[in-house]
Amino acid sequence: MKTLLLDKSQTKTAAEILRRGGIVGIPTETVYGLAADALNGGAVAKIFAAKGRPMDNPLIVHIADFSDIEKYGLVKEIPDGAERLARAYWPGPLTIIMKRSDVIPKEVSAGLDTVAIRLPSHPLARQIIREAGVPLAAPSANLSGSPSPTTAQHVLNDMDGKIDAVLDGGACDVGVESTVITLATDVPRLLRPGGITVAQLRAVLGKTEIDPAVTHMLEEGAEAASPGMKYKHYAPGANVVLLKGGDSAYIDYVNAHADDRTAALCCDEDIPLLNVKTLTLGKRGDYAAQAHILFDRLRQIDDDGGITTVYSRLPSTDGVGLAVYNRLIRAAGFEVIELEKV
């Protein structure tokens, strides 16, 4: 199929394609989504085919207004915590999991009794949802396993010829996918860190658990609270290796292993000290900037052809740093070298 490249004035065309059961790449403030009418199981199935996504991995349902949850009857009931979270952080990079109703197609819920709902803050995303007149199911618009797309060009690189259209809304602001929290458990539980931090969640909800899969590899045979967390993810073709240790230990290790097929994913401050090709995530300690650029940098590694190994410092888990940590540790297949012990 031919994939249309739409500009930001063409939201009505995108909405029309979606209403007719097509699939369209749309900008959000986190990453680009690959959208379909969330109430049309046949349309949603096309998303899985285009991405090569396992059918047991459920999708997020995107709405344009909080009242859409009741308007479309998406959930059994709205938990008290959801209303408070929505008041504090919606529209924005937060996805809330609740007990689903029967209107949610099995393709969206992947057989679970819950549904993930998000109200994005990107004006074009909300406009397309409103113009389509249906909620939109949308995973990130990358091939399954690849870094999420943060520009329309990234979407085309992965999806050209496989989807009906992509609407170009420029580069995404946050750069990593939304924070995912479930309110379907006794105690609220963070399943995926993102632009809304653990501290922000706790400020509204009080006690909030962090699922072990946020920072650790799932044990063999363990059931994933969020199915997406069990798959190798965000991985470029090259091998990503995380190094745990102080600044100078990192520099020394990378320089000792330097060759022309090696690169460093580093901070601005490291560039003059490293003897390998560098890909910077920005100023040290600026976690929001790191999140914003991370996936673009992971894609650049592959654009560069000859690179086979990329060394990165193990990121901090503070604030939005936890989202960067969570993505990088998956990109590295959980491989961390502790420099003190080398």
Chain residues that interact with Mg ion, rule: CB under 5 A: 139-140
Q: Which of residues 122-141 bind ligand TXA (CB under 6 A)?
A: 138-140
Residues touching ligand TXA, count (CB under 6 A): 27
Q: Assess 177 for contact with ligand TXA (CB under 6 A).
A: yes
Q: What's the closest the beta carbon of residue 178 comes to ligand TXA, in angstroms?
A: 3
Q: What's the closest the beta carbon of residue 10 comes to ligand TXA, in angstroms?
A: 19
Answer whether 314's CB lies under 8 Å from 325's CB. Answer: yes
Instruction: Tell me whether residue 11 or residue 57 sits nearer to ligand TXA (CB atom).
Output: 57
C-beta nearest to ligand TXA: residue? 228
Q: Assess 208 for contact with ligand TXA (CB under 6 A).
A: no
Q: Which of residues 16-45 bind ligand TXA (CB under 6 A)?
A: 28, 30-31, 33
146 Cβ contact list (under 8 Å, min separation 6): 158, 234, 235, 299
| Pairing mode, strands 309-313 and 239-244 | parallel
The SS3 call for residue 15 is helix
Q: Measured between alpha carbons, how far is 138 from 58 in angstroms, rounded to an integer?
A: 10
Q: How far is Cα of residue 188 from the mean position of the Cα atoms in its chain? A: 20
Q: Which of residues 79-108 bind ligand TXA (CB under 6 A)?
A: 95, 97
CA angle 5, 8, 13 (to 5 degrees): 65
- Of 3, 151, 200, 226, the one binding ligand TXA (CB under 6 A) is 226
CA angle 202, 208, 210 (to 5 degrees): 115
Q: How far is Cα of residue 95 from the mean position of the Cα atoms in its chain? A: 11
Q: Which of residues 43-82 bind ligand TXA (CB under 6 A)?
A: 57-60
Q: Which positions lie near ligand TXA, rule CB under 6 A?
A: 28, 30-31, 33, 57-60, 95, 97, 112, 114-116, 118, 138-140, 177-178, 180, 191-192, 226-229
